[in-house]
Structure 1
Amino acid sequence: MSKYLLNKFLFTVDRDPEWVERYREDPRGFVSWWEKEKANRLLNCHAGEASTWLRFTHEEREALATHDYVRLFEMGAHPFLTLTLFIGMFERDYDEPLGFQKEYARRLAHFSLPYPDIAT
């Protein structure tokens, strides 16, 4: 498992409105595309440098492909990265102010300190 790769996915997708929409509409296809095309690209490097070894585990791929932010949190994905990305994707689906944030808090309420380790 690579918390680095999970967090890199959440971080990079959240910064591109087109990617946010693609991830919302076709999560499985987008995760597959991102893993193949972007996972091994170095952050902040646009000159074509890349690594070759980063891959999601089956469990990580499934959690991303099903938008399972509770499972992502359990695996150590950073809670601020999951929250900001999923707000961008799902806040519009709620009628009340802060609707998604309340749902996020409710679904993660069973966790108590210490939270899962988020160090990469």
Structure 2
Amino acid sequence: MSKYYVNKFLYTVDRDPEYLKRYTEDPKTFVATWEQSIGPKLLGNDVEASTVHALTDAERDALVTHDFVALFEMGAHFFLNLTLFIGIYDEPYFQKSGPLAFQREFAAKLQHWRDRAYPSVET
């Protein structure tokens, strides 16, 4: 897993309202666009770009399907993973089930990790 690249995706998308909207509305297209034109940028400019990083098929699939459990299990940074998906799901879950509803679901889906060591987030 390219933990760096996945974490860069989570961080970048979570901090840009336009990216978050595009990712929410059409994840497959946005992940492909991000991987090809947004992710390679270094220092947020158009002059410097990296050709080294790429998502694996499993990473790409997890990002496209919003599979935060798979991302966690692959070693995505816990906080970046959680905050991005709060940005996507908090309001709909709140409307349906009240405060912290998505956070409780996130925790419930990761219950099988309760007695195990968390995956390393080292890059």
TM-score interval w.r.t. the shorter chain?
over 0.9
TM-score normalised to structure 1 length: 0.94
TM-superposition CA deviations, 1:9-34 (whole Å, max 9, x none): 00000010111111111111100000
How do 1:1-120 and structure 2 match up within 5 A?
1-42=1-42, 44-46=43-45, 48-94=47-93, 95=96, 96-111=98-113, 112-120=115-123
**3-state secondary structure, aligned to 2:119:** coil
Q: Decide which structure has greater helix share.
A: 2
Q: Which runs of 5+ in 1 are unaligned?
A: none
| Structure 1 residue 48, shift from structure 2 partner | 1.4
d(CA) in 1 for partners of 2:72 and 2:105? 14
TM-score normalised to structure 2 length: 0.92
d(CA) in 2 for partners of 1:27 and 1:76? 20
Q: What's the RMSD between the two structures over aligned residues?
A: 1.1
d(CA) in 2 for partners of 1:45 and 1:34? 13
Paired AA for residue 79 in structure 2: F
Q: How many residue pairs get matched? A: 119
Q: Percent identity?
A: 55
Q: Which runs of 5+ in 2 are unaligned?
A: none
d(CA) in 2 for partners of 1:98 and 1:109? 16
Question: Moved runs in structure 1, 4+ residues, more than 3 A?
Answer: none
